[in-house]
Amino acid sequence: MAVEVVMPKLGMAMKEGTVSLWNKEVGDAVGAGETIASISSEKIEMDVESPADGTILKIAVPEGEGVPPGTVICYIGNAGEEIISNEVNRQETSIRDVDKEPLKQKELSTVAVISRGDRVKISPVARKMAEAAKLDVEKIKGTGPGGRITKEDVQEAIHNSRSREAENVISEELPSQSTENARQVALSGIRKVIARRMQDSLQNSAQLTIMMKADVTELLKMQKQASEAMQKNNDEKLTVTDFLSRAAVLSLKEHLQMNSAYIDEKIHLFEEVHLGIAVALETGLVVPVIRHAEKCTIRQLSKASKELARRARAGRLSSEEMQGSTFTISNLGAYGVEHFTPILNPPETGILGVGAVFDTPVYLGDELKRRSILPLSLTFDHRVLDGAPASAFLQTLKRYLEEPMTMLL
């Protein structure tokens, strides 16, 4: 019996996944574990592997089309095998509209993305989007295989159209800039997903950033002592981020509103802390997740974050390791940045931006002393909580950082 390959659920808030690329065609032989397609959600991209040995019998979802999780995207079985399924194959329906005559299996993947009588290759979802935006599909450049127009191509065309309208409004006030000698780089892969996701985050939430500074002089002393002790046992040294992670987890347990998600106009409060640690790659930003961080010691948090970062840089993170976070930390201290405004990782309520530690003179009573200061930037969703409770969370975090011994008690 043919095996159904379905669209996986890549996150608790995922409502739709898109087939970015098919690596195989109908009739191609595949082996178990072999990559057959690439899919994407608003959060990540991942490869879909074949669950069994066999032949691609049907491709039910064409490239560029989005479908809900659990939808069958293709069938794998023995060559010539009849497919038995209760699900109405979306691709067959599209083909029947083109021609009532039965088609060979090898023809399905091509015909399904070409509308009746058209010369333009375009997926059904992309065509609907273009029609709604009143765009001429013949003027849209397709980036899919064979010049096929995908959903992302239409989204980019809509964005460009709106940008041109805005430029026309102010064209009389601002001098035009020539782009003849500019090098153009097309958005693709994870960069395109990040661009769309960040724009959606800003458009679909009420984000506010507040800032505070913590005196981490005593924390740095403790971190140095702990690192020296761990290196004697051939363990990796603790970093400031490790202590920050522990402080954030403890603070989130005291302020559940910050450890929450805004989904379908409801606030979901979580007892468990699944901590996302942003990792910068050459291709973009990924956020691997330390699950049940509330059960981890500082040492365990350190080992988990370092291992996830190594796997991220090697491109070996699974989709499960990049979903389900309830709060995120983004550290730009290594780049010398002090304060910045991190963008929320939907549907999370909060994200903590960490800057570079700097030394400055500070009055302690009547004495002026040199102290180490850590800048903190907290972005939160104003739909979930107001400035006062968000500030209270930041004050609790500051207290843990300035009294590091309390993190160990």
349 burial via Cβ count (<10 Å: 0-12, 13-18, 19+) = buried
| Other beta carbons less than 10 A from residue 59's beta carbon | 24
Alpha carbon of residue 395 to chain centroid = 29
Cβ–Cβ under 8 Å, residues 99 and 52: no
As a whole number of angstroms, the distance between CA 379 and CA 35 comes to 38
As a whole number of angstroms, the distance between CA 39 and CA 131 comes to 24
Nearest by Cα to 321 from 341, 338, 307: 307
- Long-range contacts for 263-269 (Cβ within 8 Å, ≥24 apart)? 263/12, 263/13, 263/347, 267/349, 267/384
Helix (H, G, I), strand (E, B) or coil at 177: coil
Q: Which two structure tokens, joined as six digits, stand for 247?
A: 């402080």
Put residue 229 in one of left, alpha, beta given phi > 0 → left and psi -120 to 50 → alpha.
Answer: alpha
Verify whether residue 382 is a known catalytic residue. yes
As a whole number of angstroms, the distance between CA 111 and CA 130 comes to 19
Cβ–Cβ under 8 Å, residues 371 and 215: yes
Q: Which helix (H) or strand (E) holds 373?
A: strand 367-381
Helix (H, G, I), strand (E, B) or coil at 51: coil
Q: Which two structure tokens, joined as six digits, stand for 180?
A: 């003849």
Put residue 333 in one of left, alpha, beta given phi > 0 → left and psi -120 to 50 → alpha.
Answer: alpha
Helix (H, G, I), strand (E, B) or coil at 386: coil
Verify whether residue 274 is a known catalytic residue. no
Which one of the listed residues 28, 99, 118, 386 is annotated catalytic?
A: 386
Please list the active-site residues: 382, 386
